[in-house]
Every structure is written in structure tokens, then in C-alpha cells.
Amino acid sequence: MKKFLFLSFLLTISLISCNYIGVKAQTTQPSGSLTITGATLSNTDTAYATSPAIYGKGSLAMTITVTKTSGTATGSAFLFVSNDGVNWEQWSASDSMDLATPILYDGVTQKTYTFKIPITYWLYYEARLIQGGTVVNVVSGDYKFAKDNGYR
């Protein structure tokens, strides 16, 4: 009987410990750079500024900076969301960045816009900058993620 109880105890401990092996919560860094595809835009190019996978519920701010190097810019940037990084849908047509009115700051013509997502329901977020005109722009961006700790 003692052997049976001892073996049962060992089996229980081993099963409990196996559940924790390899199970690590996926986390998101609180801030970082966006991955930019097509960072230098010429004329009617499109750039994509994509976040890493955002795990957990919280708020997200994606800041896009467009630096004009020459020409006259037109166009807009829109936010898209995805759960797999392949199939995208537009977040909101009313939340967009206008590329036509850059601001001169310290001798550099820039435009900065922050997309604010109050609750992260999707894994991936992407700003698409669709440019027009005869212009050369350089795109950069970063994100800030604040995980919801459940207290409101």
C-alpha cells in the first residue's frame, strides 16, 4: 500500500511538472521600432510600418514620422489590423494621417502622426502610407504598448 501511495505521489508530481515545461507566456516589449517596408518613398510608392505581434490586452500607440527630402507630397496613411500578419483589414477610415502638410522643424520638413488604439484586440498593426505627387520621403516609426493589468 505504501508503494502504491508513493508511486501515485511521484506520478502526480511528474504530471504537474510536465505541464509547466515549455509553457512560457508570450510577451510584448513595452516599446520599440516598427518594421518599415519601403522606408524611402518616391512619387506614388507605398510604405508599410508594421508592429511586432502584440500579446495581451492593453493600449497601443504607433507613431509614424515622414521626413520629406524633396518635392511636393500628397497622400495619406491608414491603420490596418490583422491576426495572422497576412490578411489585413482597415481599422478606421476616419483615423488617418495627411501627408500633404509637413511641418518645417529645425531645417527638416517632417510630419508626425500617432495612431492610438485604446484596446488591442488584434495581434498585428500596420500603418500603410500611400503617397502621391512628385516627392521623396523617408518613413520611420515606433510603438508603445501598455498592458492592461485589469485595474480601471
Quote the pLDDT of residue 24: 47
Determine the distance from the C-alpha atom of residue 101 to the mean position of all C-alpha atoms in its chain, rounded to a whole number.
25
pLDDT tens-digit series, residues 91-117: 876 788 887 766 665 667 888 889 998
Quote the pLDDT of residue 23: 43
Quote the pLDDT of residue 9: 58
Q: Is residue 80 exposed (0-12), middle (13-18) or buried (19+ Cβ within 10 Å)? A: middle
Query: Based on the structure, what is the number of domains in the chain?
Result: 1
Quote the pLDDT of residue 74: 80
Quote the pLDDT of residue 144: 92
Query: Does 11 reside within a domain?
Result: no
Quote the pLDDT of residue 13: 59
Compute the distance between CA of residue 92 and CA of residue 123 in angstroms, rounded to an integer: 17
Helix intervals (H) in the chain: 2-20
Quote the pLDDT of residue 81: 94
Domain coverage including residue 95: 26-147
pTM equals 0.73
Query: Does 95 reside within a domain?
Result: yes
C-alpha cell at 141: 516609426
Domain with residue 55: its CATH number is: 2.60.120.200
Q: What parts of the chain have a pLDDT lower than 70?
A: 1-2, 4-28, 93, 101-107, 148-152
Query: Does 13 reside within a domain?
Result: no
Query: Does 46 reside within a domain?
Result: yes
Quote the pLDDT of residue 151: 45
Query: Does 76 reside within a domain?
Result: yes
Quote the pLDDT of residue 21: 44
Query: Does 16 reside within a domain?
Result: no
Compute the distance between CA of residue 1 and CA of residue 139 in angstroms, rounded to an integer: 72
Query: Does 78 reside within a domain?
Result: yes
Query: Does 10 reside within a domain?
Result: no
Please check whether residue 61 is in contact with residue 49, taking contact to mean a CB–CB distance below 8 angstroms.
no
